[in-house]
Amino acid sequence: SAVISQKPSRDICQRGTSLTIQCQVDSQVTMMFWYRQQPGQSLTLIATANQGSEATYESGFVIDKFPISRPNLTFSTLTVSNMSPEDSSIYLCSADRNTEAFFGQGTRLTVV
């Protein structure tokens, strides 16, 4: 399985601020994905990040709120911008290896 390191593992942030989450994969991957898991809920895909192109966002998620970078084939960041308490969730990155999707440890974000 792929090893995906994600940080920070958790953070408590003030409303109106932004947080950038980093995800590092142990080998090159074509596509990386970002998910949100709200309290007591399942995972919802935010966007797909390809190296060298703009991220593709799912319905209900916009680039201004969740800008994504993918500077190379092993790294991606997700920024949660202008946070509100409704953004309190776990954010997870994912990458493919042999058509199987593996997840980072997640970032537990609390907005106060």
Task: Give me the residues that bind another protein (CB under 8 A), please.
Answer: 1, 30-31, 33, 41-45, 48, 56, 92, 94, 96, 99-106
In the complex with another protein, the residue whose CB is nearer, 10 or 15, is: 10
Provide the residue type at 45 as one letter: L
Nearest approach in angstroms of CB 82 to another protein is 26
Distances (CA, A) of 90 to 78, 83, 104, 105: 12, 14, 11, 10
Nearest approach in angstroms of CB 75 to another protein is 16
Nearest approach in angstroms of CB 104 to another protein is 6
From the number of C-beta atoms within 10 Å of its C-beta (0-12, 13-18, 19+), residue 99 rates as exposed
Nearest approach in angstroms of CB 89 to another protein is 13
In the complex with another protein, the residue whose CB is nearer, 58 or 79, is: 58
Q: Scanning the structure block, which residue is given the tokens 């199987």?
A: 100
In the complex with another protein, the residue whose CB is nearer, 14 or 59, is: 59
Token pair listed for 27: 């080998």
